[in-house]
A = this chain, B = another copy of it.
Amino acid sequence: MTQILEPTDTVTPQQRVDAWLADFEAALAVRDVERVVAKFATDSFWRDLVAFTWNIKTVEGRDEIADMLHARLAGTEPSGFTTREAPTQDGDVTSAFIEFETAAGRGVGHLRLKDDQAWTLLTALQELKGHEERKGQTRVLGAVHGSDPDPRSWAEKRAEEDASLGRAVQPYALVVGGGQGGIALGARLRQLGVPAIVVDKHDRPGDQWRKRYKSLCLHDPVWYDHLPYLPFPANWPVFSPKDKIGDWLEFYTRVMEVPYWPKTTCVSAKFDAEVGRWTVEVDRDGERLTLHPTQLVLATGMSGKPNVPTLPGQDAFRGDQHHSSAHPGPDRYVGKKAVVVGSNNSAHDICKALYENGVDVTMVQRSSTHIVKSDTLMDIGLGNLYSERAVAAGMSTEKADLTFASLPYRIMHEFQIPLYDAMRERDRDFYNRLTAAGFELDWGDDSSGLFMKYLRRGSGYYIDVGAADLVADGKIKLAHGQVDRLTADSVVLADGTDLPADLVVYATGYGSMNGWAADLIGQEVADKVGKVWGLGSDTTKDPGPWEGEQRNMWKPTQQENLWFHGGNLHQSRHYSLYLALQLKARHEGIPTPVYGLQEVHHLS
């Protein structure tokens, strides 16, 4: 009985979390919503990824939590809440990775307590009961031991499956776009046994990267970029060159057995609400086929369709002009003059490669841009979750993703602002030099920096890998203002500045992803679905009202059986799971009552 001699009034983080979870679960079990809600702080957030809401949904504060539970608690039947490892304490916040189950599946999550009340709760479905992926202990045998009733080899079965898919056998899901998003989703659907086809217009998986400007490298570091199932090896570069990531995607597609149709474009798609399936006309390397998938996923790039400005004089311009997405690289412009319209990531990358290859290049800055140095961003912005330092400290990709996902969008900027303050301080001289050179800097509407800009508008920044120094040094020339018109051999700005040009690159960004839906299905459906991406933060290019989650991404939309998937490699990895589980549940006929289907406030 020595413990009587010890002080027992000090509650450990483990005890605190265990007590909270036990009482939380007990209240859930008796369907006592009031008691559950009382366990949350007044300012609190419950983010659910498919486990309770069959949606991607954050409910904020006790009233919204109560509303969600009234709608979904009985159907969800949650139980088995427990910690996955020892909780940690930081000031007055106790944090824990948790797991739990529901009637339909098993989930993991993350909990932050303040004063024994929940501040943030994340619940994330990981697998459906009875439909678990076969891996580890349950992986397939491969060889058939004993006499084989099916004498076909693996290769023959694969070939026959390929031959019948889309002809004798219809895919349950059609994924349009085979970049990292479509490929990651295709891999998960394959593992889950959901018949699917990923179609892409390019010749080979990975061409989405290979065909861009030759100097392109990933701007996110390797630890952030792992795909599901198959992490990059330890010798993979921090910033993968575009052709190398292209090869990886091609490799990944093959070894993960993703059903992938290259050289295939979708001509039209129409949903038949009566029978609940799509009719999609595709051109597969010259052959017309009609597909009848139940679910249609647009994974054609979160950046959406290229914005190409219409300007007077474009017809008369005698040089080359193209959008940044079609820029071939500097080789054919050596010794010539280039004007790059725009001052974000692509503009900087393209200007840098042009300058380094002996092109006289001018960047036209139309509005202020947010710049952070890559090293600084890696260290301060991502280092605790996605870095060699994090790996050494025991941070797995799964834990990093859960931590990342556990921060409610409503308050995420509050976590971000101090990081960017630190970056600004660290690189003060760098920013002073840029400003002195006339470059117009910003840090986002609320000084919350790059990641919030990415989530809100997907644009407005450059992760500096060297181009900013070239701007500061005047090696990349700088001009300001809107473009007024083109002449036969120059770009004329609003203030009359005339910039001689053999080449004009429009690094002018992209539209909303529902532009893809307009092209493929029609404007009516595009308008029904509304704007894709952004949080409703009421900041530049992300109008309110507040949404709480990214619009239309990875979750049910106002158009039945139409989904959007995309984003960077991190998002392709992480959110492909939740989209795949939603599709799998529907494929298996598991009830999926959606709580809080988002409303549409903006058309594009």
Contacts and interface: CB of A to CB of B under 8 A. Distances in A.
Interface of A: 133-137, 139-148, 151, 153-156, 158, 191, 210, 214-215, 217-218, 222, 229-230, 233-244, 247-248, 250-252, 254-256, 329-330, 352-353, 355-357, 374-375, 388, 391, 465-466, 469-470, 475
Given A147-B469, A151-B215, 13 more contacts: A135-B233, A135-B234, A137-B388, A139-B238, A140-B235, A142-B238, A143-B218, A143-B241, A147-B466, A155-B210, A155-B242, A155-B244, A229-B234
A234 B139 contact: yes
5 contacts: A145-B375, A153-B242, A154-B244, A155-B210, A251-B252
Given A142-B238, A466-B145, A153 B215 contact: yes
B255 A217 contact: no
A330 to B, nearest CB: 8
Nearest to A329: B153
A251 to B, nearest CB: 4
A357 B152 CA distance: 9
CB-CB nearest 5 A-B residue pairs: A142-B237, A154-B241, A143-B217, A251-B251, A143-B239
A137 B221 CA distance: 13
Interface centre among A250, A375, A465, A470 (most CB of B within 10 A): A465
A236 B139 contact: yes
A138 B135 CA distance: 31
B244 A147 contact: no
Contacts of A466: 144-148
A585 to B, nearest CB: 20
A465 B146 CA distance: 6
A536 to B, nearest CB: 34
Contact of A155 (B139, B214, B252, B352): B214
Contacts of A134: 235
Nearest to A229: B233
Given A145-B375, A217-B142, A155 B233 contact: no
A381 to B, nearest CB: 16
Nearest to A355: B147
A155 B135 CA distance: 35
Nearest to A152: B214
Contacts of A247: 254-255
Contacts of A330: 151
A133 B158 CA distance: 38
B215 A141 contact: no
Contact of A251 (B243, B250, B357, B470): B250
